[in-house]
Amino acid sequence: MGDGPAVRVGTGYDSHRFDPERPLVLGGVHFPDSPGLAGHSDGDAVAHAVIDAVLGAACLGDIGSHFPPDVEAWRGADSMELLEKAVALVHGAGWRVGNVDVVVVCERPRIGPRAPEMRVALAGRLGVEAGGVSVKGKSNEGMGWIGREEGLAVHAVAALVVGQTGPQPRRSE
């Protein structure tokens, strides 16, 4: 870390096409009445965007450099477990997550009613209180590939602060 700033900010983005053959998981929350997302792992675009945001803030690369899509070990992987691994890397570099802000851009499913569950699930893996995670859903107003309901996109911002104090990520069951 050196003599750099005591706070760092990173951004993340992910998008996936819908795949009706897969379950939909966003931010660790299952959406049973919606088609899933195509992807090498479980396709959790929220977790993927947050991973990129926290890794980017710590200048530790991106999701693909740590969990490459051409590595069979990551096929079908639980993206929330990958998020835990990313947070462990961030802690190893002397940082901890301060807060995360997520925007899911889609026509469906509706994110707002499930946002509190997503906040709790993400907070547990990030090692912060639920109040340190914001999740919002936004429509694309029927425009483009998102408006045609071909898939969804996610934007995330993470702030990291110096030090290892505070709650630690919840370990996988």
Domain ranges of the chain: 7-162
Q: In this predicted structure, what is the pLDDT of residue 172? A: 44
DSSP 82-98: HHHHHHHHHHHTTEEEE
**Whether domain 7-162 has CATH 3.30.1330.50:** yes
- Taking phi first (over 0 means left), then psi (-120 to 50 degrees means alpha), and beta for anything else, what does residue 57 get? alpha
Per-residue pLDDT tens for 25-45?
Answer: 999 999 999 999 998 899 999
Residue 171 Cα distances to 90, 127, 161, angstroms = 16, 10, 21
Q: What is the mean pLDDT of residues 96-104?
A: 98
